[in-house]
Structure 1
């Protein structure tokens, strides 16, 4: 990965680069097929224990990979109605990110990355 600015930001919910097949294969092909663009990746997963190691070699045009998990064992947890404990900071981040994409008219704020 590099310090270059990204041309394209991909928000990846529970897929690439940690899960093989389907959407992940499609994302990998897009990144490799567009070598003249730089990509920044934001991976959002459920809980860290649901994912192993990265399953793909990231192409050279991936500038950064941000990894966020919504469910973790932490002292800042909140309990949802169905009993799963969510890390409050990351759950709030996810809600802010969803709100941004619903109403986006400007570049994504750096505090959401």
Structure 2
């Protein structure tokens, strides 16, 4: 009698364990499916973003080509002006320093 009761209990326990295992497997499968779905969605989003970015870059390049035209003569004039401005500034600084040394400024 005792032995039979023990056998029944083990059978019941084993059944419960099997059920739990099945549940666990189902949960894992669901989880994997969800993860796969999420990955696919992320990839789709990334592709869309990349496409949008490429379009924007193309527009910018077109603008850059039209905006700046190099004219050597004008460039040289600007260069000369910049040099003279710098020299004038340097001269003024020197004069200020000399006056400072003399006690005038």
TM-score by length of 1: 0.19
Higher helix share: 2
TM-score by length of 2: 0.21
Specify which structure has the bigger relative contact order, considering alpha-carbon pairs within 8 angstroms and separated by 6 or more residues. 1
Higher strand share: 1
